[in-house]
Amino acid sequence: MISGRQRRILLALSSKQFVTSEWIAKELNLSSRTVRDEIHRMNTISPTSFKITSVRGKGYQLQEYEPAYLNKLSQNTETIMSYDFSVQKNRITYLLKKLLLADGYLKLDVLADEMYVSKSTIQNDLKKVRAILLQEKLQLLNRPYYGMAVNGKEYDKRLCLSKYVYQDTQPFDQLNRHWQFDRESFKKIKEIILTQAEFYHVAFSDVALENLAVHIAIACERIKQGKLIDVLPGHLSGKYSFERKLASEIIKHIETYTCLVFPYTELEYVVVQLLGTKLIYGDDIFNKSEFKEAQHLVQVIIEKLHLKFGWDFSNNKDFKQALTLHLRTTLNRLRYGMSIRNPLKSEIKQKYWAAFEGAVIAGQCVKEVTGVVVNEDEAAYIAIHIESVLQQQVKGHEEFKKRILVVCTSGLGSAKLISIKLERLLGSSLEIISTISYYQLLKQDLTKIDLIISTIPLEEQLPVPVYVLDEFLNEQDVYAIKKLVLTATGIKDTFLDSKHIFIQQKFSNKREVLHFLSNQLISQHLVEKDYENLLLQRESFASTYFGNLTAIPHPVHMVTKKTFWTICTLERPLTWDKAGHQVQFICLMNIKKGEKNNLEQMYQRLLAFLEDKELVRKVVKANTKSEVIKLLGE
């Protein structure tokens, strides 16, 4: 077998002209001795395909015996070179693909040589590969003198391939990297799918079409190799008549085009793929019997979201239809082990917190009704549907505006002028509640004020942020106020209390942290005794890790008498979840029972702080509670 290094030497000789070992060494960043040794080995192991001759004073020359051998070798080398093996993620993807598609055992030293990395690097990567395979019901076997091989069902191998190798923005490129799959054949497969879909009055998104075509192309190649699916999970017999009819027609035309025979289990495999694909129906789905389960789930979810958050989606037909379509597909994916990774999961959790919490509630409903567990990736997709309708509702109401109080010592006229300028420049983002003089400030109710803009420094400790500006409101002032208004970086101390702040604590795991914080709040008579269980329940659905060494745990139900934060910083970071995320700053959100109006506003205030890495670093290093309060209130 030709190694990766040897391939490169052969390609350096591809001109068929004489080339010196010194020149090849410079081209490939090797020593000339290594080049000579490798040429000697190649002449020994591949005498029928080629021969490398040497002439003193001229160098080495390649003589090709097997037609197109060098061209084929070049294609394989380009396939390997298309991976950047300096990145562990790329190495793991490559190892998974090689192991899952191998006909037999693979040796560690061959892989290391092919990828141009050390054996110790491969061994370290294989720990993660083994964990991924185990998660997908597969096992990595090691056999002395033979190497490594993946043991498991063909169905599970294909699902693992689609999840970790071919789930790509360009899945055909990944397919082509291994099999040099003909682009025209791939195009024909897509044409067959589209023709049959049109006949049955359904449509695919571009991504769904590409992925289904990849699955069928993989099936074609595996059938050629005799790697057939034996048994599928679940019971498909007598179910899903529409998907079965569509799959049968697609496969009939694929068989005619490829001259392959798809066994019954391979047809069932395509049925499962269709079940996991969101088909776009041309007519109303509410009258279709196959959607009854999903429709019932949507109704349960809408009722629970209204109860928990006060969101009324009951009259939104578009939302109902979109979520029904999505949930049917999601249930099929999860029941047949086809769970997909969501590349936007972290971003959705951070930017659409309220929607993601709604998706967690939806996941609970799914589990209670069907017994199917919805993971974080799938929950994040549900959150997109919830966020879209929340955005529609925001557009249907007056946009939330930051409430501003203007303080001016030179008279109400000047204060009014400042107000007019601010409304003209930032009118869509703020509402001037009042313009007052300094002496009126201390008598003013500030509970509904988000920001004070003053023309003089204010020495008093106030519960809201203060911005001091020039009476002429220059460009720098406008920029600074706009930043304050739009990002809401100020944090009202109604959420903060020194009694709820614990700094530089020593804990070894998440459970210890939540146990400690729950007991502190119980001792202050702020929560009931089962509060820790409510926190752990929420953690079991999806990690509350936020990023930037922070976590925002909260109970699965809103149970406290008021909304407030409990802050905890740690001496050392600890592992927060199964993904291994490290956390050193914890903000426990205790949410008032029945709170429906201020959740998003409160979270946006917290979000502005948590995204500021420098500020989080300062809070983590703070040695006093007052310092933490000051930093959070900046």
Judge if 37 and 123 occupy the same domain.
Answer: no
pLDDT classification of 509: cutoffs 50, 70, 90: very high
Per-residue model confidence (pLDDT) at position 141: 95
Ranges of H-type helices in 102-168: 108-115, 119-135, 154-164
Per-residue model confidence (pLDDT) at position 353: 82
Please give the model's pTM, rounded to 2 decimal places.
0.65
- Higher pLDDT: 501 or 181? It is 501
- Average pLDDT in the 608-633 region? 84
Here the CATH number for the domain that contains residue 356 is 1.10.1790.10
Judge if 502 and 628 occupy the same domain.
Answer: yes
The pairs formed by 29-35 with CB atoms below 8 angstroms and a separation of 24 or more are 30/5, 34/5, 35/9
Q: Within a domain: residue 163?
A: no
- Torsion angles phi and psi, residue 440, rounded to 5: -80, -15
Token pair for 129: 């590969």
- Torsion angles phi and psi, residue 281, rounded to 5: -90, 145
Q: What is the mean pLDDT of the chain?
A: 81
- Average pLDDT in the 367-390 region? 90
- Average pLDDT in the 473-478 region? 71
- Torsion angles phi and psi, residue 505, rounded to 5: -85, 160
Within 10 A of 159 (CB to CB), how many other CB atoms are there?
22
Judge if 615 and 509 occupy the same domain.
Answer: yes
Question: Would the pLDDT of 286 be above 80?
Answer: no
Judge if 219 and 343 occupy the same domain.
Answer: no
Quote the distance between the C-alpha of residue 370 and its chain's center. 25
Over residues 162-180, the pLDDT tens digits come to 778 766 545 555 555 555 5
- Average pLDDT in the 356-376 region? 92
Q: Within a domain: residue 164?
A: no
pLDDT classification of 346: cutoffs 50, 70, 90: confident
Judge if 383 and 310 occupy the same domain.
Answer: yes
Highest mean pLDDT among 79-88, 252-261, 433-442, 454-463: 252-261
Per-residue model confidence (pLDDT) at position 521: 93
Q: Which of 544, 609, 614, 611 is nearest to 581 (CA)?
A: 544
Per-residue model confidence (pLDDT) at position 489: 41
Q: Within a domain: residue 349?
A: yes
Over residues 301-320, the pLDDT tens digits come to 999 998 888 888 999 988 99
Judge if 290 and 273 occupy the same domain.
Answer: no
Per-residue model confidence (pLDDT) at position 178: 55
Q: Within a domain: residue 492?
A: no
DSSP string for residues in 204-243:
--HHHHHHHHHHHHHHHHHHHTT------SS--TT--HHH
Per-residue model confidence (pLDDT) at position 78: 44
Of the given ranges (347-356, 428-437, 529-538), which has the lowest mean pLDDT? 428-437
Per-residue model confidence (pLDDT) at position 488: 46
Q: How far is residue 430's CA from residue 301's CA, in Å, rounded to a whole number? A: 34
Element (H, E) at 170: none
Judge if 243 and 121 occupy the same domain.
Answer: no
Judge if 473 and 568 occupy the same domain.
Answer: no
Residue 564, class by beta-carbon neighbours within 10 Å (0-12 exposed, 13-18 middle, 19+ buried)? Answer: buried
Q: Within a domain: residue 418?
A: yes
Over residues 203-257, the pLDDT tens digits come to 877 778 888 888 898 899 889 989 999 877 766 666 788 888 999 999 999 999 9
Residue 206 in contact with residue 245, Cβ under 8 Å?
no
Q: Within a domain: residue 543?
A: yes
Judge if 185 and 273 occupy the same domain.
Answer: yes
Q: Within a domain: residue 165?
A: no
Per-residue model confidence (pLDDT) at position 576: 94
- Higher pLDDT: 562 or 148? It is 148
Judge if 379 and 427 occupy the same domain.
Answer: no
Contacts of 266 (CB under 8 A, 6+ apart): 219, 223, 228, 229, 251
Judge if 365 and 428 occupy the same domain.
Answer: no
Q: Please identify, among 103, 120, 152, the residue that sits at the C-terminal boundary of a domain.
A: 152
pLDDT classification of 287: cutoffs 50, 70, 90: low
- Cα dihedral sign, 614-616-617-618: positive
Per-residue model confidence (pLDDT) at position 259: 93
Here the CATH number for the domain that contains residue 265 is 1.10.1790
Residue 436 in contact with residue 419, Cβ under 8 Å?
no
Here the CATH number for the domain that contains residue 426 is 3.40.50.2300
- Overall number of domains in the chain: 6
Q: How far is residue 64's CA from residue 45's CA, in Å, rounded to a whole number? A: 14
Per-residue model confidence (pLDDT) at position 472: 62
Residue 72 in contact with residue 20, Cβ under 8 Å?
no
Percentage of the residues of the chain whose pLDDT score is greater than 70: 80
pLDDT classification of 288: cutoffs 50, 70, 90: low
Per-residue model confidence (pLDDT) at position 171: 57
Q: Please identify, among 44, 75, 106, the residue that sits at the C-terminal boundary of a domain.
A: 75
Question: Please, which residues bridge with residue 61 across strands?
Answer: 53
Q: How far is residue 93's CA from residue 153's CA, in Å, rounded to a whole number? A: 20
Question: Please, which residues bridge with residue 505 across strands?
Answer: 570
The domain of 62 spans 4-75
- Average pLDDT in the 412-422 region? 63
Here the CATH number for the domain that contains residue 133 is 1.10.10.10
- Average pLDDT in the 83-112 region? 85
Q: Within a domain: residue 168?
A: no
Per-residue model confidence (pLDDT) at position 457: 81
pLDDT classification of 398: cutoffs 50, 70, 90: very low
**Residue whose entry in the numeric block shows the structure tokens 């795991």:** 509
Question: Would the pLDDT of 401 be above 80?
Answer: no
pLDDT classification of 50: cutoffs 50, 70, 90: confident
pLDDT classification of 201: cutoffs 50, 70, 90: confident
- Average pLDDT in the 455-468 region? 80
Residue 160 in contact with residue 132, Cβ under 8 Å?
yes
- The distance between the two most distant Cα atoms of the chain, rounded to a whole number of Å, is 100
Over residues 570-613, the pLDDT tens digits come to 999 999 988 788 999 999 988 887 766 556 666 766 776 777 77
Q: Which of 627, 529, 547, 558 is nearest to 587 (CA)?
A: 547
Here the CATH number for the domain that contains residue 626 is 3.40.930.10
Please, what is the Cα angle at 178 between 173 and 184, to 5 degrees? 55
Q: Please identify, among 281, 303, 331, the residue that sits at the C-terminal boundary of a domain.
A: 281
Judge if 254 and 314 occupy the same domain.
Answer: no
